[in-house]
């Protein structure tokens, strides 16, 4: 019987049993990267470097001293994580000012664990957009249908996992950039609570909303990855009180609140899929309206543009022509917002946290990951629920709420549309209850997969 | 705005205007208590005094 090695969890078991070697996994991943080159998932990939890491991992394992469960497993890295062995460009012509030759904390953690730093993945320029259509390397294509976008900004990571090139990849998430491509590509994506996982060495978009996050082929893969994400890092002051990941938390029948209301509309096919999944997952489900969405969204946009404009100011002054036209417009708009606008936004942000807590006794809040299935490449507008919005806004339609609140979030695949495109469910947990959120997601995923 | 940004295109200026209009509209319509503490915290550290 052939050993299954498509998910990271299967790869962990197969390496441990000796059924496969790291070199086998690395070579297969490289072959698949060539086969799926048209997806444009990777922007930097050195086969010889990948194989030398794999061979070193095989030697360690043969000597009985693997560095961790991840030793010898290929993991792809979004191109906004600093890496000592690959250039970091954020997929922009306006090259970052950060020094080369260092690793982001997440990359350093994975490297120290023996994971193969497989290559850098395509992304929406500077993570400042959610379609992955804007990149100096060109757009990424959705493995389920190359005429469709992947969503972004971690679209290369999403495509690489969904195509089976690698079982796991790193993304970053400021308004849904892990969850959006996870939803559009039919994989799993986790955004930790703000301050739970180090942002050090990830080129910032918005300091107070950025989060690193794993993307993977199976939910249990996240359980292997999150211990390398969560915990304090002296290089990231936001993590000073962060606890390590507790892998002993298990799930019980969860209390879910399905959020609805003006501003939370979705297409009929997505709404039908969400309601069907909620009816089949053996959870205690209630429905609640969240009002004032336009105000909360304005607060998210204000903080996003102000923080991005502040970070980019030196590079924009030096090389404005290096930015895409739309990215440049965002950055210039951020400069025109006033201090009082930013403080009003921060006041509204505090209200959101309280409002979500006041919804009562819940384990997770539920929304679709996206209001529509993956849009066609080149489509400027999406229509759903009586709305006509830009494709960009449709991608972040729900996800930004988790970043503004700082809550942990996960996207899980719950089914396919009649067109064969994935539909994702997003779950938001309570702040720093990342383990409980993963347990809730495991409960839902397990019941849906069991056909309950 | 064109005078302020002669190097930007009409499309860029239109995007900026639309973004600012949307943001200000959303912020203005959201009533918060004047004393509502903004959601940011300053934690003094020894290194801040260096």
Residue A158 has pLDDT above 70, yes or no: yes
Least confident interval from A357-361, A378-382, A388-392: A357-361
A345-367 mean pLDDT: 95
Residue B48 has pLDDT above 80, yes or no: no
- pLDDT tens readout for residues A249-292: 998 999 999 999 999 999 999 999 999 999 999 999 999 999 99
CA distance A408 to chain B (A): 17
Closest Cβ opposite residue B27 in set A298, A336, A350: A298
**Residue A451's pLDDT is what?**
79
**Residue B41's pLDDT is what?**
67
N- to C-terminal Cα distance for chain B?
42
Give contacts of B23 with chain A, Cβ < 8 Å: 298, 301-302, 305, 337, 341
- pLDDT tens readout for residues A401-452: 999 999 999 999 999 999 999 999 999 999 999 999 999 999 999 999 997 5
Q: Do B20 and A329 touch (CB under 8 A)?
A: no
Cα A292 to Cα A81, A205, A258, distances in angstroms: 35, 25, 16
For residue B28, the chain A residue with the least C-alpha distance is A295
A51: its two tokens? 């194989």
Exactly one of A22, A92, A133, A153 is catalytic; name it. A153
Q: Do B8 and A326 touch (CB under 8 A)?
A: no
- pLDDT tens readout for residues A307-352: 999 999 999 999 999 999 999 999 999 999 999 999 999 999 999 9
- What predicted TM-score, i.e. pTM, was given to this entire model? 0.97
A153 is known as an active-site residue = yes
Q: Do A292 and B30 touch (CB under 8 A)?
A: yes
CA distance A354 to chain B (A): 11
Using alpha carbons, select from A276, A342, A353 the residue that is nearest to residue A308.
A342
How many A-B residue pairs are in contact by the CB < 8 A criterion? 90
pLDDT band at A100 (very low <50, low <70, confident <90, very high): confident
- pLDDT tens readout for residues A49-78: 999 999 999 999 999 999 999 999 999 999
pLDDT band at B46 (very low <50, low <70, confident <90, very high): low
Q: Do B23 and A208 touch (CB under 8 A)?
A: no
Q: Do B37 and A349 touch (CB under 8 A)?
A: no
| Cα A167 from Cα A162, distance rounded (Å) | 8
* Cβ atoms of residues A120 and A154 within 8 Å: no
- pLDDT tens readout for residues A211-253: 999 999 999 999 999 999 999 999 999 999 999 999 999 989 9
**Residue A228's pLDDT is what?**
98
- pLDDT tens readout for residues A190-205: 999 999 999 999 999 9
Spatial CB neighbours of A330, under 8 Å, sequence gap ≥ 6: A128, A305, A308, B15, B19
A100: its two tokens? 């080369």
Using alpha carbons, select from A230, A241, A244, A237 the residue that is nearest to residue A197.
A230
A177 is known as an active-site residue = yes
* H or E element in which residue A172 lies: strand A168-173
Closest Cβ opposite residue B29 in set A240, A295, A302: A295
Residue B50 has pLDDT above 70, yes or no: no
Burial pattern A114-141, b for ≥16 Cβ within 10 A else e, equals bbbbbbbbbbbbbbbbbbbbbbbbebbb
SS3 A326: helix
Residue A1 has pLDDT above 90, yes or no: no
A78 is known as an active-site residue = yes
State the greatest distance between any 2 C-alpha atoms of chain B, in Å, as a whole number. 49
Give contacts of B40 with chain A, Cβ < 8 Å: 208, 346
| Domains within chain A, CATH numbers bracketed | 1-452 (3.90.1300.10)
- The complex's ipTM works out to 0.90
């Amino acid at each position: 019987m052939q050993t299954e090695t498509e998910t990271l969890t299967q790869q962990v078991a197969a390496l441990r049993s000796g059924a496969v070697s790291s070199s086998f996994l690395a070579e297969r991943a490289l072959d698949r990267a060539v086969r799926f080159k048209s997806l444009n998932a990777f922007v930097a990939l050195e086969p010889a470097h990948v194989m030398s890491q794999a061979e070193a991992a095989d030697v360690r394992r043969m000597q009985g001293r693997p560095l961790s469960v991840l030793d010898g497993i290929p993991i792809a890295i979004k191109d906004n994580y600093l890496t000592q062995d690959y250039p970091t460009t954020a997929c922009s012509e306006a090259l970052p000012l950060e020094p080369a030759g260092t690793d982001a904390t997440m990359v350093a953690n994975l490297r120290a664990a023996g994971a193969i730093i497989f290559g850098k993945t395509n992304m929406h320029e500077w993570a400042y957009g959610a379609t992955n259509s804007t990149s100096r390397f060109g757009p990424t294509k959705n493995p389920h249908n190359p005429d469709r976008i992947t969503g972004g900004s971690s679209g290369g990571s999403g495509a690489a996992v969904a195509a089976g090139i690698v079982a796991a990849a790193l993304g970053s998430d400021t308004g849904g950039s892990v969850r959006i491509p996870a939803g559009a590509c039919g994989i799993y994506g986790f955004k930790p609570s703000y301050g739970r996982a180090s942002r050090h060495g990830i080129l910032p978009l918005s300091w107070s909303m950025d989060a690193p996050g794993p993307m993977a082929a199976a939910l249990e893969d996240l359980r292997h990855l999150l211990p390398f994400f969560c915990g304090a890092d002296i290089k990231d002051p936001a993590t000073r009180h962060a606890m390590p990941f507790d892998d002993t938390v298990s799930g019980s029948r969860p209390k879910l609140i399905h959020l609805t209301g003006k501003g939370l509309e979705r297409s009929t096919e997505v709404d039908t899929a969400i309601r069907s999944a909620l009816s089949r997952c053996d959870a205690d489900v209630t429905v609640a309206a969240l009002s004032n969405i336009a105000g909360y969204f304005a607060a998210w946009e204000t903080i996003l543009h102000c923080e991005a404009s502040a970070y980019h100011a030196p590079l924009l002054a030096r090389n404005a022509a290096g930015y895409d036209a739309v990215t440049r417009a965002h950055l210039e708009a951020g400069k025109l917002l006033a201090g009082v606008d930013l403080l009003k936004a921060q006041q509204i942000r505090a209200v959101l946290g309280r409002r979500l807590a006041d919804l009562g006794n819940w384990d997770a809040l539920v929304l679709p990951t996206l209001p529509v299935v993956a849009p066609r490449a080149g489509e400027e507008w999406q229509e759903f629920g009586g709305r006509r919005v830009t494709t960009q806004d449709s991608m972040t339609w729900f996800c930004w709420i988790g970043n503004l609140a700082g809550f942990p979030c996960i996207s899980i695949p719950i089914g396919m549309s009649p067109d064969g495109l994935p539909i994702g469910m997003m779950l938001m947990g309570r702040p720093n209850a990342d383990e409980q959120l993963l347990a809730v997601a495991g409960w839902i995923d397990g019941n849906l997969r069991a056909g309950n | 705005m064109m005078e302020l940004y002669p190097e930007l295109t009409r499309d860029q200026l239109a995007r900026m205007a639309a973004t600012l209009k949307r943001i200000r509209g959303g912020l203005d319509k959201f009533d918060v208590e004047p004393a509502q503490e903004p959601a940011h915290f300053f934690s003094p550290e020894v290194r801040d005094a260096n």
